Structure 1
Amino acid sequence: MPNLSLDAEMDAMPSLREDRPSITRKDVADHAGVSTAVVSYVVNEGPRNVAPATRARVLESISSLGYRPNAAARALKLGVSELVGLVLSDTANPYFAEFSRAIEKAATDKGLSVIFTNSALVQGQEHLQVQKLVARQVDGLLLGSTEDEPNLDSAREANVRVVMLDRSEPLAGFSSVGVDFREASRVAVEHLIWHGHRRIGLISGLPGGLTTSARELGWEDALRAAGLPLGPVVRGEWGRNGGYQSGMQLLTDPNPPTAVYAISDLLAIGLLRALHEAHIDVPRSMAVVAFDGSSESEFSWPPLTVMRQPVDEMAGAAIAALGRPASAKPEHRSFTAELIVRQSCGCIPL
């Protein structure tokens, strides 16, 4: 089932309706020589059985005429739309692209379709994206919010179940899934300490939130536990360019670190470019470890050592949470990120 962009779909709908003649259920019935009720039974797979020969004739007429059942009308009648709304900050980010694909697969396995929107398209207007999806009568909503306390009034009023994604801790009243970001970051930095590094910097993103703070705290936990001073910290815009600018700033430090923990793959990718341009050898002169574990991290140069988020498992848990009984108590599922060792930390020779 295709993954539809909400804004793109809405923009496209008027022209499609103008250019394509409207084929009705009655047209199909007349073409197949049956009643409209029989067409309804075939389209909705019930409530009454249809003889195989008659069913085949109706399906042939549907195909010949190009009839498309009105999904919205069917949703109103049955009380379900078989649609799941998905809001992520930016599916141009490889991590979120892979997460959305995993969610689509998990939803498809349950007979559901996914309609998504990017909250980053309209800064500070995430609640409007939620409202649009609720207006489309989605059966449930998966929200990877950029806000610690998102506005979900429209979903509450419509009794649309919401499952929060990418959460470092629970949000009262809602089920959620996420990774133990603090613990994962601690493991990442401990790996750099194991390599012998004693001055380990941090590249983070703006604005800060719960997940950002948790990753930064994990970096701090590892250094304090080892009795090491906190290395330099640079915070900039999220993404490759932010990582690049942060890397350039880091290199102006008169005492630069020998290793850096970047709290996202894209920040690390930008950092690598800055290091390459400055002729800094990675990992011999500066080691790098990142968080996320998207496919892009495997194809950077050198390939990044990462803490990989288990997107398939989290996607399955999120879809399962949407299907729990309305009376079920909300729960938070915390997953463990996996250390994937590649060349950027110095474990594997280049």
Structure 2
Amino acid sequence: MEAESGRKAGYQAGFTLRENELQASFPGVSGMRAAGTKSVKDGLAIELARSGYSTPEERQAYDRGYREGYQRSYRRAYDNAKRDGYNERYNMAYRRAYDNQYSISYRTGFADGKDKGYKAAYRSAYNSAYASFYEQYSNREYADQRAQGQSSGRATGQREGFEAGCAEQTKRGYNEGYQKMAAEVYPGAFEAGKQSGIAAADKYYAENSVLKAFGISFYDENSNGKFEAGENIMLRADLTNYGFQKSDAITITVKSERGEITLTPDLRAEGVNGRNKNAVNLNIGRLHDVVAPDADALVVTFMEKGRLVADYRQMYARTNPNKVVIINKDDTAIKEKAGWLFVGTVTKLNAGEKVLVIGEKDDWYKVRKSAFAGGSWNEGFVKKGKVSVQ
């Protein structure tokens, strides 16, 4: 089992190494920041291929066996690695935190580093249950010392413990320590696994599309930097396919957190040819003419074959030069003229509905229906006391 762990660590290291080489060799990739890397073919996601599985069923079988046997062998490997000092830098950072009794902050740094650094990298590279066992065993160490540091460790630990523990974990990543241990304890198995991983990465990239999204952003149609009422909002992104096979069409979904925007349905981008990239530039919707001048957030997701390629969230500020009033009570009458006697009712509106002010007469507003509202009426008058100015 231990030799198999070494082979698996080598496989994952080799797969990741070759994957990085394939992506780095793509023209124009230097300096770009990606929102995500996802691929799937015949039900097999790239995360499973990175972990050495050829079918989802293999992953399920592995998980069953892992729960039964891997914990015991991991404990042995963990103890050996600890004695041999592969995690020396981690222990140094931990001892510094322990000696100064600021382990609360260190534990925060540890968790943050684990979650944001090696855990994400580890899971994407290994996609196994290893992280849960590491957390279980590492958190058992020095439980009483951590409790002891609760009262006196905050101030110093916020600085040194966070820097020593979190920074080291996020920079180095747990996968580096794990691979180092595996390479030292099982060098033959590790090297064999590494070569197998390199070959598997070559095969996977040759047979699949592997998508990344770069430069995702929303912008206003006239590009003056203001998201104005009645204006179209645009989406730009670059979709890069590092694989050698053409991808399927990409489904794009946009949501607004505060509304008052009519979103374009069924957005799609064409499939990207192998080792190629496509620019996406789409009209994703139009702000309402009665939109509130406040902040909103737009969230976009890119999907291929039902799997997430990338997602992105952007805050933006909306402006509205129109004068807008909000109806205060249900069944508020919109009159034909500014007056009550012998004046017909155009329509009745409910509390919260908005109308555009296009004029004033005494205690009345002349109003017009929003272009995005329902109903057959167009213009009318409403008493000023029955509305609130937005």
Which has the higher relative contact order, 1 or 2, with Cα contacts under 8 A spaced 6 or more apart? 2
For the criterion TM > 0.5, the same-fold answer is no
Select the structure that is richer in strand.
2
TM-score by length of 2: 0.22
